[in-house]
Amino acid sequence: MSEQRLPRYQTIHKEMLNRLSQGLYSVGTRLPSEDVLAKSFGVSRVTVRRSLEMLVNSGYLVSRQGSGYMVNTLSPPATTCMISFTDAILKSGRIPGARLIGVERFDGDAPASVQEMFGEPVTRIQRLRTVDSQPRMLVNTWVPTRSVPNLSPADFPEGGPDQSILRILIRRFGLEWGSACETIRPQLATDEVAELLGLPCNALILTQACSALDDTGAPVFYDEVYRDTPITYELVGASRQERNP
């Protein structure tokens, strides 16, 4: 179906998605009112509202009575572990950071659990995530090497909203996933994890393992997250959203 034949609310929905992807509206900001948007698109408020509610349902926006629509995230979660750390920190009024530790390629010599999951050469992206310059999480992101051609340190900014690994994988490499599974468990920090997070050796930490899957159930990427802070959730509609990361 051509763009011209799409119902107006769908055309507006696609345009709003495009504006979000281009960074015209940042996380935590309020969108123009329904009246303003209706006039700019030349449609009724009802049509605009239908388009915006689609964005609410998919997680991009939140609707607050008396306040209009706010940008919730630029990387809507399919499940709990797909919530953008960057967006959560920005919404809290703090400053997220991401220090790249290294990009390493493995050809059959990755850890057994990773090799069994993918069964092909993989690349590990290791980053230290910070809040207000303080280390909070060590993250290993594993992804098939074929999925990230020409990956380089330049793909990983240390500041700003584009440091989100979800946005990097979507925008830079066109990766897509439809679901995810997550495991959270306690463990003792290894020497490497303890040093990077500024913890005593063998300190008790939480590990958060998340596998992003495509529509066939095949893994798209796998995150290993090591953190010394609790994970707290709040229920929003039918999905969980992480808060106070």
Residue 201's pLDDT is 87
At residue 79, the pLDDT reads 45
Q: How large is the average pLDDT for residues 139-160?
A: 94
Q: For 106-132, what is the mean pLDDT?
A: 93
pLDDT band, very low/low/confident/very high, at 166 (cuts 50, 70, 90): confident
Mean pLDDT lowest among 65-69, 108-112, 200-204: 65-69
Report all structural domains of the chain as residue ranges with CATH numbers, in order of start. Answer: 3-71 (1.10.10.10), 80-243 (3.40.1410.10)
Residue 184 and residue 92 in contact, taking contact as beta carbons nearer than 8 Å: no
Burial 35-57 (b: 16+ CB within 10 A, else e): eebbeebebeeebbbbbbebbee
Minimum mean pLDDT range among 34-48, 107-121, 231-245: 231-245
Closest by alpha carbon to 24, among 169, 161, 172? 161
User: What is the mean predicted confidence (pLDDT) over 13-24?
Assistant: 84
What is the arithmetic mean of pLDDT over 132-145?
Answer: 94
- pLDDT in the model for residue 2: 41
What pLDDT score does 231 carry?
64
In this structure, what is the dihedral angle of CA atoms 131, 28, 220, 122, given to the nearest 10 degrees? -30
What pLDDT shows up at residue 75?
A: 65
- Position 76 scores a pLDDT of 59
Tell whether the model's pLDDT for residue 162 goes beyond 90: no
Cα separation, 60 vs 30, whole angstroms: 12
63 versus 105: which is more confidently predicted?
105
Query: At residue 224, does pLDDT exceed 80?
Result: yes
Q: Residue 82: what pLDDT?
A: 65
Centroid of chain to Cα 80: 10
Region of 106 on the Ramachandran plot (φ > 0 left; ψ -120 to 50 alpha; else beta): beta
Residues forming beta bridges with residue 106, ordered by sequence position: 122
What pLDDT does 43 receive? 92
Q: What is the pTM of this model?
A: 0.66
Query: Of the ranges 54-68, 178-192, 200-214, which one carries the lowest mean pLDDT score?
Result: 54-68
In the 3-class helix/strand/coil scheme, how is the chain assigned residue by residue?
Answer: CCHHHCCHHHHHHHHHHHHHHCCCCCCCCECCCHHHHHHHHCCCHHHHHHHHHHHHHCCCEEEECCCEEEECCCCCCCCHHHCCHHHHHHHCCCCEEEEEEEEEEECCCCCHHHHHHHCCCEEEEEEEEEECCEEEEEEEEEEEHHHCCCCCHHHCCCCCHHHCHHHHHHHHCCCCCCEEEEEEEEEECCHHHHHHHCCCCCCEEEEEEEEEECCCCCEEEEEEEEECCCCEEEEECCEEEEECC
Mean pLDDT for 146-152 is: 94
